[in-house]
Amino acid sequence: MSRDQIFFIVFFVVFVAINIYLFGSGSLSADWTGFGIFIAAGITLSLYSFLYKDNPLFKFAENLYVGVAAAYTLTQVWYTVLLADVVIPFSELDSESMSNLWLIVPSLLGLFMLTQLSSAKFSWLSRIAFAFVVGLGAGLAIPRTIAANVLAQLEPSMRPITATWEGLDLLIILVGVVTVLVYFFYSVEHTGPVGVASKIGIWFLMISFGASFGYTIMARLSLLIGRVGFLLEDWLVLPLPYF
């Protein structure tokens, strides 16, 4: 037996022993909830076994999860859209709700979309559905992007600069926005004044990437804290002062 195999057998035995103790002492209730916490802890630890090295236990949990997640999404799509907005309106069609007949169009388009994975004979139908979705999305996006992300962002960059700290901040923001735009400018070489501006632009970018970097680290650690909280509090039932 290799070192890794011994390691995983020990891991497994310890996990089982802890759970026998937890169920035996009544910390975990002998019902579906208790069993659920036991499974959840097992999945959590299986995934963390990746830290030792990539292994079958990790892949087991990962792939099982992919299947469950796909089914969960499919379920939500069924109950809230396909059932509520398509099947029920069609099944309740009467003279008053004939306007619902319009729903035939998107339903057909939707079915066209599914032909993408069929034989080549029909798969061109999916192009019509994609053309509709992508074309409409593109059309709706243009004016709204200009309104929300261009015009609304320009106005606050044109405020009067006063001789105060706020004024200085506004000036720094203006310099930052302008130099970052210069950095992402491809029609002129980055030499001379343009080179200087793009260099300043890089500094601004780096400060903001640093901020994102710090925040991302923070986010991942928060997730870890959440999981450790689950293992310690819900599974091992340890007294955590503040959780």
Strand, helix or coil at 31? coil
Tell me the C-alpha distance between 152 and 158, whole Å. 11
Interaction between residue 74 and other proteins (CB under 8 A): yes
* Contact string 144-183 vs other proteins (x = CB under 8 A): xxxxxxxxxxxxxxxxxxx------x--xxxxxxxxxxxx
The size of the interface with other proteins (CB under 8 A), counted in residues, is 150
Residue 30 found at the interface with other proteins (CB under 8 A): no
For residue 236, state whether it binds other proteins (rule: CB under 8 A). Answer: no
Residue range at the interface with other proteins (CB under 8 A); choices 2-10, 11-19, 20-28, 53-61 = 53-61
- 99-128 residues in contact with other proteins (CB under 8 A) are 102-103, 105-107, 109-111, 113-114, 116-117, 123-124, 127-128
Which one-letter DSSP state was computed for residue 190?
A: S
Binder among 12, 65, 93, 101 for other proteins (CB under 8 A)? 65
Question: Is the CB of residue 58 less than 8 Å from the CB of residue 46?
Answer: yes
Distances (CA, A) of 110 to 8, 125, 128, 188, 227: 47, 10, 10, 46, 39
Which CB, 26 or 127, lies closer to other proteins?
127
Token reading at 67: 């299947």
Q: Is 31 in the site for other proteins (CB under 8 A)?
A: no
At 105, the amino acid letter reads V
User: E-strand spans in 20-109?
Assistant: none
Among 17, 39, 101, 196, binds other proteins (CB under 8 A): 39
205 neighbors 183 (Cβ within 8 angstroms) = yes
Q: How far is the CB of 165 from other proteins (least distance, A)?
A: 10
